[in-house]
Amino acid sequence: MHKVAIVGRPNVGKSSLFNRLVGRREAVVADFPGVTRDAKEGLMMHQNHRIVLIDTGGLWSGDEWEQAIREKAEWAMEGAQAVVFVLDPREGLSAADYEVADWLRRLGKPVILTANKIDSPKHEVHMAELWGLGLGDPVPISAEHARGLDELMDRIMVHLPADEEDVPDVAPIRISFIGRPNVGKSSLLNALTGSERVIVADVPGTTRDSVDVEWDYSGQRFVLVDTAGIRKRPDTAIEDFAMQRSQTAIERSDVIWLVVNATEIGDHELKLANLAYDSGKPVIVVVNKWDLVPDDELKRTERELNEKLFHISYAPRVYTSAINDYGIHEMLAEAMKLYEKWKNRIPTAELNRWLGIWTVKQRVPNFQGRSLRMYFMTQVEIAPPTFAIFCNRSDFVTRAYEGYLLNRIREDLDLAGVPVRLKWKEKGAFNKKGKKGETDDDE
């Protein structure tokens, strides 16, 4: 698989170009500099080549993030076959542009000089100054209007070797970190991968976009998604958009790690857990910063956690510390276990055997001498496991009996911690056209 990095000073349109090339709005774009800080990866296909495109933060930004952004950009270019150096010639070259050009020459990577925001041929007059950088012919493009992208890709392809590797098209397991700002999501991702893949700082809101990190562990491919901290009420438009991206990451994920601070848990965590659980994804509560709890306070803190997390008691819990790697491997083991359960399909014969046992253990609802009759049960979907029970009257199903069946499904079918959906379908003389009952396990 090939790797191409996009670099440049702030606000020249790197993220817009990244989104245009990968064919979807992956990176947050705004009209002010400094939105992108981490290196964000995206997969694109071109002429049967699988290319990992990397969007980087604005270099030589002159703010407190300058050094961290530069380190992440250097990481992005370690295995890159080509570097797309994006500039805005309509604004003219700045001192930062010359600094980036000198830096790229020292790294010795093939560089494609890319003049963005050239919306029409009349704007190409602004490109003359770019020759002074000594990096070859600039390619005129407009990321916003998709102009010049074919020529840009032709220039990139010159530097990519023949793609002879037969890469199996197997989807990786996508796992997202979610949580309020500054609970340690980025630190946990770095600890898990054993690298400094994302920027970590004590400032809440350091991560401003969802960052996908491709990772291979013991032959299993993963995409670990570091999301922006979700606040109760976003303070700015960029925070509001970042929160929407975090919600999108939840929808696209297979498993969710809900990261909470061991010493600070409130109603916000319950809302986040419900958001994830309602999407049908398995949720694991990761209690981070466990090392900050004194030994004589461990039992009391755990009791408080049980009380505060009572409404999401269905979710498995892992205690971690990103600083000393405590609990890191347990996070991954729990996620893989829930993923297998989430994708599992149970034979119909086994389900009906259990249904017979459940009806014996708990009497079915009875209304004025007429009983609920359940004919058979089958699994109609996976991810999440969804079961249908065919019965005579769906309106005879009480909330208590439905809860009983959901508990039995989770415990007897080894689906603890996995969202379960239960649907009721009427069969028989009472069945009316278009009438059916459906129930979600959203406890």
Cite the annotated binding site for GTP by residue number. Answer: 8-15, 55-59, 116-119, 179-186, 226-230, 288-291
Output the DSSP codes for 31-43.
SSS----S-EEEE
Give the list of residues 6+ apart from residue 255 with CB closer than 8 angstroms, or none. Answer: 173, 174, 175, 176, 281, 282, 283, 284, 335, 338, 339, 342
Burial string for 175-211 (b: 16+ CB within 10 Å, else e) reads bbbbbbebbbbbbbbbbbbeeebbbbeeeebbbbbbb
Binding residues: 8-15, 55-59, 116-119, 179-186, 226-230, 288-291
Q: Give the Cα separation of 75 and 412 in Å (integer).
A: 48
Phi, psi of 129 (to 5 degrees): -65, -25
Q: Give the Cα separation of 156 and 50 in Å (integer).
A: 13
Of 110, 101, 151, nearest in space to 131 by CA: 101
Rounded to 5°, angle at Cα 227 from 223 and 233: 160
Q: Give the Cα separation of 59 and 98 in Å (integer).
A: 11
Provide the sign of the torsion angle of the four alpha carbons 73, 38, 16, 42, taken in this order.
positive
- Cα 359 to its chain centre, rounded Å, is 41
329 three-class SS: helix
Distances (CA, A) of 14 to 298, 323, 425: 47, 33, 52
CB-based contact 211:185 (threshold 8 Å): no
Q: Give the Cα separation of 280 and 84 in Å (integer).
A: 39
Locate 409 and state its tokens: 């499904």
CB-based contact 36:56 (threshold 8 Å): yes
